[in-house]
Structure 1
Amino acid sequence: MNDEHVGYETKTVHAIRGREGKTRSKMEQDGWELVQQDPGALRSSLVFRRPKKPLPRKALIIGGSVAAVAVIGIIIGANTEGEPAPVETATAIARPEASARASDSAVVTPSATVTTGVGAASAAAGASAATDAEVLQVFNDYFAERSAKGVVLAKAVSDVRFESGTVRVTFDPAKAGITKDQFDYINPFLNLASFVASPIAFNDDVGNRIRPSVQSIDTVASDGTSLGSFTHDQILALNELER
């Protein structure tokens, strides 16, 4: 196991509403990864990160052999297009990259439990409801894709369940090869449901198909401690979604 920890530098870029995609593409070409998007009245604030040189082992080791970890560092403001900064009206999570389905991936996905007959009531009128298996597939594929890209939070996902309209995700730092203290240190989310909601938090085919079946998201630690929850309305509020 590597004795050094991988940290990340972050940068906040402001883009005119509707041009976020162009800004994101440009940043990703330079090696940056989108981790958060906050829409404003005129401009959106996009937070990016990319790996920086590992910190000395002493700076992060709390005990034992450790895995490489990610760290959210300083926020650097950068204005684009010369528009006045608006008052931000909502907080949105990062849009996930186009999800490469992980069925052929070497990454081991978390275990999943299916309870049938749940999603139909919440599906959009006139459309068939997403099956429980579809819901689980979308979340497991997202965690597998993020894990393959080295996102430690995704590597720590040990179990994904969908029961009675609730997606329940368990995080176990040991699965990522780190301690609980290290997990808490590198976790940038006050509510981990914000991270879990990523694959269904946007007005795209996947989000519109799966989101109506998800009434809530619960995140817990392996010892059962709550790490945050979202209701369906809170998921919609992330990016001003309608359903």
Structure 2
Amino acid sequence: MSDEIRYEHKTVQTVRGTDGLVISKMQKDGWEFVEQSQGTLRSTPTFRRPRKPVPWRMVGVAAAGLAILAAMIGTAVAREEGRVGQADGLLERQTFRGTGPDRGRAGRRRGDHA
């Protein structure tokens, strides 16, 4: 990795005459004054501050946690679908053998009397 400092920049438009207030406020917030361009009614000061480093270790841990969670959910869904498939097959076998709740009424409709 290089040790070069990376900066984020911010440009603010102010009404001429209030430049000092804006510059002091931005410097209190951690911004460094870089330059200022003057217009007839407005001035545009530009600020910069060092960019905060990205915590790659925390990002990696969060990504690994999400991957583990997704794998757990996928496994649970697959196991549940297997159970539902087994229950449907069991129900079909019971109905096919005639051991289900409709036993003895096969082929009859409501209102038919034997």
Which structure's residues are more often strand, by fraction? Answer: 1
Q: Which of 1 and 2 has greater Rg? A: 2
**Is the TM-score greater than 0.5?**
no
The structure with the greater share of residues assigned to helix is: 2
TM-score per shorter chain, which class?
0.3 to 0.5
